[in-house]
Chains A and B, each alone.
Chain A
Amino acid sequence: MIKSQNLSAYNEVIEGFKGECIRNNITIKSFYDLKGKTNIGYKIARKIRNEKPDIVLTIGVLATTIAKEELKDIPMVFCMVINHERFQLTGPNITGIATEVAIEEQLEGYQSILDSLRDFGVIYDPSKTGNIIESAETKMKDIGMNLVKYEIKSSKMVSEALENLIGRIDALWLLPDSTVVTKESFGFIKSATLENKIPLLCTSDVFVKAGALAAVFSDYVHIGRQAAQLAKEILNPSASGSLGIVNPDKVTLAVNSDTAEKLGLKLKAFRGKPHIIIYP
């Protein structure tokens, strides 16, 4: 089990994974933290190669990409890789759990709290999240929604994109795009949308805690469990290598009630699905 660095989300995954492993009699041989350092990653990869485990769980993009390169003959399950499509995580030994919730499920979650949701605004850098936009645009069209997109190539263009979108959209969808979301930009996006009464919808509860209206995201503990289940399947002698990349089983809807109040929204009666967390 390799985690890229010490993040609470990663630790939740480990927690779920460990529990599920115990239940399925899977022994965790060794556990490594790369502490975000590439050079450590390579050293550990060499060490694991010598240990010859049956399967490797990688948590995060650093651990996953090093394992992909260095442990090609050991089956691996990856998780917590943001927008995994960028890293071409495919191979006979690679199985993974996508971090992002499927578009349909995300929209379902957002629509459960917002009545009129037709024009969905999004700011994106084609080099980072172009693939997500491409698939989302088609899927939204199918259900009669309109994706109003604004393309940017640098973080400096965020304000310009917001100015362009405000007035044309019913909600702003904040993707996990490192050009759009920076330490500086989030505060600005949050205040601009709040000021113009535009709901801000995200893919992580971190932003909901920080003031976004809502987020549909995967349950990290459950991802750990799901990974253990996938490992179990792979370890089964009848299994034939990779199980591909699966979507997370369990999603959660996080809502910030203060923000909802500020936006003057009357939250619809929540339905049982998905699971809902109300902040603060």
Chain B
Amino acid sequence: MVRIGIKFKFILSTSLLITFIGVSSSWYFSSQTKKQLEEELKKRGYSLISQLAQDGEVKDSMSVVQKVFFEEPIRRLRNLDIEQELAYWRVLLVPDYTLLEEKESWIKTEIDNIPAYHNIEDVTGPVFNILFTDSGEKFYNFAVPVYEKHTIAEEEFAAQIFGLGEDYDESVKKLLGIVQIGLTPERINKKMQTVLWTSIIPLGFVIVLVGIGVSYFIARGVVKPVINLVKMTDRVASGDLEHSVEIISRDEIGMLASRFNQMTKGLKRLMDEKEGVMTELKGVNEELSSINTELVQTNEQLKEAQERLVRTEKLAAVGTLASGVSHELRNPLGAIKNAVYFLKRKLSKKESPDIDEKVVQFLDIMDKEIDRSTKIINDLLGFARVTKTVKIPCDITIVINEALARVKVAENIKLSRNFQSDLPMVMIDARQIDQVFINMIENACQAMPDGGELRISTRESKGFAETEVADSGCGIPEKTIKKIFDPLFTTKPKGTGMGLAVCHGIIEKHHGTIDVESREGKGTSIFIKLPLEDKSARPG
């Protein structure tokens, strides 16, 4: 939508007003001029007809009813008509006789068509009227009565010098007739046209143009501060509260600018206060956030501690159970093992054809299952056994290499070692830790039945020696990863579920940690951290 500004409205309305005033003044001026010209024409008409009526020769000619005597007075009349406005003249005698009627040749109207006065005696004083003829001409018509001369001029003067007598009657005057003349307004019309085109219309145009120009400058003067205010409002709206409007005038716009500046200052003060509060809130929020983080960490620690406690409790319960059951089963299994050995020996010494080969095979199966059961029992006993851990400073690299030497790594598995050379000594029970590494390496190898890469590396980490055993095997599903250290949990078909539980138990006894990271299909890494030797505590 097109926006119409104050400046445009002001200029438009002022221009319309000025145009109206200009047109009105021009109209007034022209009508006044015309009126003035008409008045002048009337004066000239009266003057001319008075001269004619006062002319002694006219009176004498009217007295003697002689048309020819008018030649001289009419000549004088035409000489007096400098403006050449005289159109016609007529002399009427009482009671109703036209002595003379003539017109100028350039007048279109016939003299007969110009009304004459038939009731001459009714005309007692000067008469003026405007005539419109059938031929479209307009005339200023004048008529005055002509009276007989009172007396000769010398006697009139004598009366003036000697004074009038008490019975002197000047009013007894005999009416001779009337003289009538007509003036044409043609010349004043032309003059009016000239005045109109040379003065009034150009003056009107000048008034209108000057008016528009002046209103433009006034509007600009008024609107400029308003535009400045609008610009400043936009700046304030966009957040710039640093600037203020320049106050040029002391009028209403100046007051508006002043109030605007006060408002901007107030707004700035409020914004500064808000900024301060926001900063404080941000600090509080950060504090809360850090407290929250601490709480989360504490919560996680608590959760871990709880899980560890649960696992420890669980292990303790399993250990107690396993210890009792194992003691009870170990002896019967030993007796069964001996019996199987005795039967197999007997059967191998006697070659009797009636002995089914299947019996020998079943005995072998029994022997193997007894061994396996024995192993399970031993594992359970090993887990439950409360053996004292004897920690001495050991080189972890040596312990790892020894474990590797005991495990047979398949040929399709590529083994890589990356041990930190200057790794400090760790305080461990080397036999137990060796068992842990064997378990880890075996598990890794079992995860890569089709070959892969086994990487073992060591490094120092914040008072601990960290060993990573990583394989590129099948990985551990996410849902089971948390359970791998639980006793009796296994994913292997012939596993006992005690290996990692035992390892976890050993590492905890060493005040170390054991963690696992695994991605399915990519491989698993086990991180074992063991505390470094506290050299300040070693004697000597």
Contacts and interface: CB of A to CB of B under 8 A. Distances in A.
Contact of B168 (A6, A183, A220): A6
B153 A178 contact: yes
A66 to B, nearest CB: 10
Interface stretch (A7-15, A46-54, A135-143, A153-161): A7-15
Contacts of A275: none
A60 B158 CA distance: 8
B152 A7 contact: no
Interface of A: 4-11, 35-38, 60-62, 80, 82, 176, 178, 181-183, 203-206, 209, 220
A5 B161 contact: no
Contacts of A35: 151
Given A6-B167, A6-B168, A7-B168, A80 B162 contact: yes
B165 A6 contact: yes
A176 B151 contact: no
A272 to B, nearest CB: 26
A7 B163 contact: yes
A7 B160 contact: no
B153 A9 contact: no
Nearest to B165: A8
19 contacts: A4-B155, A4-B158, A7-B164, A8-B164, A8-B165, A9-B163, A9-B165, A36-B155, A36-B156, A37-B151, A60-B155, A62-B151, A80-B158, A80-B162, A82-B154, A181-B157, A183-B160, A205-B163, A220-B162
Given A181-B160, A183-B160, A61 B154 contact: yes
B151 A7 contact: no
B152 A38 contact: yes
Interface residues of B, number: 19
B161 A61 contact: no
Contacts of B150: 36
Contacts of B168: 5-8
A31 B165 CA distance: 18
B159 interface: yes
Contacts of B155: 4-5, 36, 60-62
Nearest to B172: A35
A9 B151 contact: no
Contact of A204 (B153, B154, B162, B165): B162
Given A6-B167, A6-B168, A62 B152 contact: yes
Contact of A8 (B152, B161, B163): B163
Contacts of A82: 154, 157-158, 161
B450 interface: no
A36 B151 contact: yes
Nearest to A178: B157
A10 B151 CA distance: 15
B166 interface: yes
Interface string B121-154: 0000000000000000000000000000011111
A45 B131 CA distance: 50
A187 to B, nearest CB: 13
Contacts of B163: 7-9, 204-206, 209
Contacts of A209: 163
A37 B153 CA distance: 11
Contacts of A62: 151-152, 154-155
A131 to B, nearest CB: 16
Given A5-B155, A9-B163, A82-B154, 14 more contacts: A6-B165, A6-B167, A7-B159, A7-B163, A8-B166, A37-B151, A60-B155, A61-B152, A61-B158, A62-B151, A80-B162, A178-B160, A206-B160, A209-B163
A209 B163 CA distance: 10
Contacts of A206: 160-163
B162 A181 contact: no
A204 B158 contact: no
Nearest to A39: B63
Contacts of A220: 162
Given A36-B152, A36-B155, A10 B165 contact: yes
Contacts of B157: 82, 176, 178, 181
Contact of A7 (B153, B154, B165): B165
B154 A5 contact: no
B323 to A, nearest CB: 162
B151 A5 contact: yes
